Structure 1
Amino acid sequence: MLAVAKVVPQAQIVEAGTLAAALRAAGAADDLRLILLDLKMPGAVGYSGIALLHAEKPEVPILVISSAEGAKAAEEARALGAVGFLPKDSPLPAIEAAIARALGGQAPVQAPDGTRDQPEDSVRREIAALTPTQLKVLLAVLDGKLNKQIAHELAISEATVKAHMTAIMRKLDVRTRTQAALVARSLGLDLKH
């Protein structure tokens, strides 16, 4: 929070201790300009926090500051909607610079090795483009929940759950909910870091 206050002294900072609280805060905020996110936030599984917050507020940049390590974590975070990724032990000036870039709308830095899109990158973009409810349905399927359970949990009808699953399967180019879950799992949506 010190870095945000230094870059934007007049910023109103809203903290959330869980993913559910972050989603509520993001949904209630009309003037949200930046989301700083930890991948290991309680309630988040794998990259689900990025995907859910990006689906809820696609216009708001998400900067991940996490103890997850490696270029793969940064790549996955960016593919699912984050504009940048910094290790928690980054020096304060690096965090401030990343916040300034994110608020300035600057594009994230490309992979240092100059790699091009891989086939899974298009699937990541499709997952990043799911609506908030579609993403919640997909995550519930990953948890092994039945349509009836998902409907109850999300306070929607079973028919609506089926409609969302049909849309998800079409976007992910799969034929079954099991295939959709396997695709999502292969992209790290339910992996713990």
Structure 2
Amino acid sequence: MIADDHPLFRQAMAMAVTHVCPDCRVIEASTLDVATKMAGATSDLILILLDLKMPGATGFSGVALIHAERPSVPILVVSSADAEIAAQEARRFGAVGFIGKDQPLEAIEAAISAALAGERPAAPITIEAEPVDDMAEKVASLTPTQLRVLLGVLDGRLNKQIAFDLNVTEATVKAHMTAVLGKLGVQNRTQAALAARALGIGMQH
């Protein structure tokens, strides 16, 4: 699956995938919501090429949401974000690798080939990546719905507003929020929002 809001770049990525894997079927998504639904509904999905900056995404929320939806499917982030910052962060939330959109087609194809082979594509930076920290692991352990509730909190929405957005009851949102607080090991919504922002969930890329 290629998830990017630019049709021309999706076309270029589809050509790269077809060159590496001629028998692969390519599906495309232009928004995070569509990408998340397609990830959950496509049983034979073997790789996700994901842009960080697309409609519905803030920071690394796209990586976290899709990884929660399909934790066994490798996610390769292909983005124009600063690689020195974004590559490590993307891995913290479940991506197997990161490659900049400014890289030559050969490099992108090599990264796709490595991801399909179950390998981690070479990092685009020379410094050693720091180990995944405890809070990042906790955020990565949230379910897709729990992540959506947390994103609603980050947007300053009330429980009843989040319930309307997700088409669930307010009581369900409260239950999910309780689970989020427990998983993150925090006491209230403010602390949960601060923890998520500290990890880049609320950052724009």
CA RMSD of aligned residues (A): 1.5
* The 10-residue stretch of structure 1 (158-167 or 74-83) with the greater mean CA deviation from structure 2: 158-167
> Counterpart of 1:59 in 2: which secondary structure?
coil
Letter in 2 for 1:136: R
- 1:77 CA drift (Å): 0.5
> Counterpart of 1:82 in 2: which secondary structure?
coil
Alignment counterpart, residue 141 of structure 1, candidates 145, 153, 168: 153
Q: Which residue of 2 aligns with 1:55?
A: 68
Q: 1 CA distance for matches of 2:149 and 2:129?
A: 32
Displaced runs of 4+ in structure 1, greater than 6 A?
none
Q: Which residue of 1 aligns with 2:126?
A: 112
Pick closer, same or farther for the CA change 1:163–1:102 going to 2, 3 Å.
same
Q: Kindly indicate whether the alpha-carbon contact (under 8 Å) linking 2:39 and 2:66 is maintained by their aligned counterparts in 1.
A: yes
Indicate whether 1:99 and 2:112 are aligned: yes
Letter in 2 for 1:163: A
Q: What is the TM-score with the length of structure 1 in the denominator?
A: 0.93
Q: Which residue of 1 aligns with 2:6?
A: none
Letter in 2 for 1:66: S
Q: Kindly indicate whether the alpha-carbon contact (under 8 Å) linking 2:83 and 2:99 is maintained by their aligned counterparts in 1.
A: no
Pick closer, same or farther for the CA change 1:109–1:124 going to 2, 3 Å.
farther
Query: Which structure has more RCO (C-alpha within 8 Å, separation ≥ 6)?
Result: 1
Structure 2 residue runs without a partner (length 5+): 1-13
Letter in 1 for 2:131: D
Q: Which residue of 2 aligns with 1:152?
A: 164
- 1:70 CA drift (Å): 3.2
Q: Which residue of 2 aligns with 1:187?
A: 199
- 1:47 CA drift (Å): 0.8
- Where in structure 2 are the equivalents of 1:77-92 lying within 5 Å? 77-92=90-105
Structure 1 residue runs without a partner (length 5+): none
- 1:98 CA drift (Å): 0.9
- Aligned residues, how many? 191
